[in-house]
Amino acid sequence: MSTSPHGRYWIRPRPLTGASWAGRRIGILGGSFNPAHAGHRHVSQWMLRRLNLDQVWWLVSPQNPLKQARGMATLDARLDAARAAARDPRILVTDLETQLGTRYTVDTLEALRRRYPRTRFVWIMGADNLLQIPRWRGWTRILGRMPVAVFPRRPYSLKALVGKAARRYLRNRVPPRDAGGLPARSAPAWTFLDGPLHPASATEIRRKGWWAGR
Ligand SMILES: Nc1ncnc2c1ncn2[C@@H]1O[C@H](COP(=O)(O)OP(=O)(O)OP(=O)(O)O)[C@@H](O)[C@H]1O
Ligand SMILES: O=C(O)c1ccc[n+]([C@@H]2O[C@H](COP(=O)([O-])O)[C@@H](O)[C@H]2O)c1
């Protein structure tokens, strides 16, 4: 147990280890969640349906290596807000990168594979991150290790689909009609889903002063 910054007690989210996750289909949505919003829930629920997932784990990052620490609320405050925003029993809010001691996604995915060797994971991200992923450490190892599902996001989708990552892995793209089989595929394999856009953005929420997380 630990205390949240607001004084309430909560049990630290700790996905079970070992055999209980064998064969399960889990989507991983990594993010700063500064704060979590309805867009994260929308993306997760579409992925649950379209990829036939059992659960989506929100990986609340201690610190995105490409973002400034300034303006980032504490991990506890972001976890609390994410738990309030998830509102779906199939979405599990986690501090897995803290538990695993990783900061870079490539290291996180490798540690997850070791910890859950028989679980079928899919890395989930919005189109903005498909555009940006060539700047992540070891990005080709990420795409080479885990199937990836991308959700469209304005105004990034078209640019992302002609970007460096999409071009490099053009032959590994899976059409949305076959997305249900993505968790069972070996990497590299990725899909760009065709679900309805969601306008929510954490930048916009902070700009409007709606997030008081510290
Ligand atoms: N409205 C949305 N539509 C599609 N993908 C989204 C949306 N909101 C967030 N995501 C995706 O969720 C993941 C985590 O996002 P993040 O926590 O950075 O939220 P954000 O709204 O993008 O925040 P910020 O504006 O601070 O960058 C990323 O892969 C991002 O692309
Ligand atoms: O590993 C990297 O180099 C890297 C660089 C930038 C972002 N990421 C990851 O991308 C995910 C989305 O981050 P964000 O801040 O856009 O929500 C989150 O899990 C970050 O840890 C990872």
Look-up of token digits 């930048």: 203
Per-residue pLDDT tens over the stretch 77-134: 999 999 999 999 999 999 999 999 999 999 999 999 998 999 999 999 999 999 999 9
CA–CA gap between residue 38 and residue 12 (Å, rounded)? 23
Q: Give the number of other Cβ atoms within 10 Å of residue 13's Cβ.
A: 17
Q: Whose CA is nearest to atom 7 of ligand 2?
A: 64
**CA of 198, nearest ligand number:** 1
Task: Label residues 22-41 b or e (16+ Cβ within 10 Å = b).
Answer: eeebbbbbbbbbbbbbebbb
Torsion of CA 16, 48, 199, 78, to 10 degrees: -10
Tell me how far the alpha carbon of residue 202 is from its chain's centroid: 14
Q: What is the DSSP letter of 184?
A: G
Residue 58 · residue 33 · CB < 8 Å: yes
The verdict on residue 11 lying in a domain is: no
The verdict on residue 8 lying in a domain is: no
Question: Which atom of ligand 2 lies nearest, measured to the CA of 142?
Answer: 1
Whether ligand 2 lies within 6 angstroms of the CB of 133 is answered as no
Tell me what pLDDT residue 15 has.
Answer: 56
Looking at per-residue pLDDT, the higher value among 9 and 100 belongs to 100
Whether ligand 1 lies within 6 angstroms of the CB of 83 is answered as no
The verdict on residue 54 lying in a domain is: yes
The verdict on residue 177 lying in a domain is: yes
Tell me what pLDDT residue 18 has.
Answer: 57
Whether ligand 1 lies within 6 angstroms of the CB of 200 is answered as yes
**CA of 129, nearest ligand number:** 1
Looking at per-residue pLDDT, the higher value among 200 and 11 belongs to 200
Judge if pTM exceeds 0.90: yes
Residue 12 pLDDT > 70: no
CA of 51 to the centre of ligand 2 (A): 22
The verdict on residue 16 lying in a domain is: no
Tell me what pLDDT residue 14 has.
Answer: 54
Tell me what pLDDT residue 19 has.
Answer: 61
The verdict on residue 1 lying in a domain is: no
Tell me what pLDDT residue 212 has.
Answer: 80
Q: Which of 97, 136, 205 to mutate to test the pocket of ligand 2 (most atoms within 8 A of CB)?
A: 136
- Pick the closest to residue 188 from 153, 152, 151, 139 (CA basis): 139
Q: Which range marks the domain in which residue 28 is found?
A: 24-208
Per-residue pLDDT tens over the stretch 27-78: 999 999 999 999 999 999 999 999 999 999 999 999 999 999 998 999 999 9
Tell me what pLDDT residue 11 has.
Answer: 40
Whether ligand 1 lies within 6 angstroms of the CB of 129 is answered as yes
Per-residue pLDDT tens over the stretch 142-168: 999 999 999 999 999 999 999 999 999
Place 17 in a pLDDT band, splitting at 50, 70 and 90.
Answer: low
CA–CA gap between residue 105 and residue 142 (Å, rounded)? 7
- Structural domains counted in the chain: 1
Check which CATH number belongs to the domain holding 191 and give it.
3.40.50.620
Tell me what pLDDT residue 21 has.
Answer: 81
**CA of 131, nearest ligand number:** 1
The verdict on residue 182 lying in a domain is: yes
Tell me what pLDDT residue 22 has.
Answer: 84
The verdict on residue 214 lying in a domain is: no
Burial class (CB in 10 A: 0-12, 13-18, 19+), 8: exposed
